Amino acid sequence: MSASQLGKTKPPTEWREYPEPIDNQQVIRTLEQALQDLEKIGDVTIPKETHLAIRKIEDAKLREERIFAVLEAAGVASLPLSTPLSLLFLLLGWRQGLRYEKFRQLVHLMKELDEAFKDKGIEMEALIEHSQNTPVDVLLRFPGRHFFLLCLRSCGHAEIVFNEKRERFFQKKPNGGLRVILPDPVGMVMQQATTLQKHYRQFFGGTSKAARRPLCRLMIVCQPSRLAQHREELYEAFGEVKALSIHYEKGGSLFAVNREDVIMFVKEYLAFRINKERGDERVD
């Protein structure tokens, strides 16, 4: 099982808006088990070059065989672990400090989203791998074909600043120093969205038309980092919440909010999309 297949169940025979339903609780349980297994594994890290090489293998069976061989060589495959090897392989490619902190943040966020929107029919997937880019942190979908792509970022005790001239995010340290954030969230999320809508259509409903529906791209700044205050013109309001809005030349935006504003943003943006579509239907 790959990281992008967590929580999937057998498609039912009757028609569904999304042919493959997702069990959010199963996704979360698998991620929690992975956290426990990471503690057993310790400080093993898979080189970045190995990750990139294996990610490019298109044949699924061959890719799984290579993953097993790498983990076996690292002394991991023989451990009594419950996590799918493909997921462990992904996580062991992260730096050890990042591995635990970001993964805990991701699991906590997914629990919070599931609790807040279970009555809205939310479905979630995490850590979707593909050959073109960094794995997608979280994908959300709601009935009515409403989708969100979430990117979690934290840079320690720093403010996150968007430089309008360079169109890049920087981390501003307490001593005033600036460092560009890599990989670049602006370009990375755009590439992720493009790749998913071309090659991961089953999540969007299985058709090219469904995959072309709006995909809200959201960067989430997690503690102890904070999103800096920017010019008022850079914000877009959705109901009671404001989000930093970075516009792409080819259309669409990357929104950015602090971690504590995520639930409200998803709620208000979802309401905005639903109301907009209802208004468009009345006009037609």
Closest C-alpha among 219, 159, 140 to residue 184: 219
Look at strands 168-172 and 235-238 and give their pairing: unpaired
Structural element, H or E, at residue 95: none
62: which residues sit within 8 A by CB, 6+ positions away?
A: none
Tokens 């969205």 belong to residue? 193
In this prediction, residues 93-107 reach a mean pLDDT of 84
* Residue 97 near residue 105 (C-beta atoms within 8 A): no
Contact present, 163 and 170 (Cβ < 8 Å): yes
**pLDDT value of position 175:** 82
In this structure, are residues 134 and 90 in contact, taking their beta carbons and an 8 Å threshold?
Answer: no
pLDDT tens for residues 18-60? 888 999 999 999 999 998 998 888 888 888 888 888 888 888 8
Residue 1: pLDDT over 70: no
Identify the burial level of 236 via C-beta atoms within 10 angstroms of its C-beta, where 0-12 means exposed, 13-18 middle and 19 or more buried: middle
Give the SS3 label for residue 63. helix
Alpha carbon of residue 38 to chain centroid: 20
Q: Name the token pair of 225.
A: 């980092």
- DSSP annotation string for 214-226: -EEEEEEE-TT-E
Angle value at C-alpha 125, between 23 and 198, nearest 5 degrees:
125
Residues 144, 147, 114, 160, Cα dihedral to 10°: -150
Residue 65, token pair as written in the block:
């065989």
Query: How many residues are given for the chain?
Result: 284
* Model pLDDT, residue 198: 87
Task: Identify the weakest region by mean pLDDT among 15-19, 45-49, 77-81, 179-183.
Answer: 15-19
Average pLDDT over residues 218-229: 96
| Strand bridging mode 146-153 / 136-142 | antiparallel
- Above 80 in pLDDT, residue 11? no
The three-class DSSP label of residue 68 is helix
224 φ, ψ (degrees, to nearest 5): -85, 5
Measured distance CA(51)–CA(73) in Å, rounded? 14
The answer to whether residue 284 scores a pLDDT higher than 60 is no
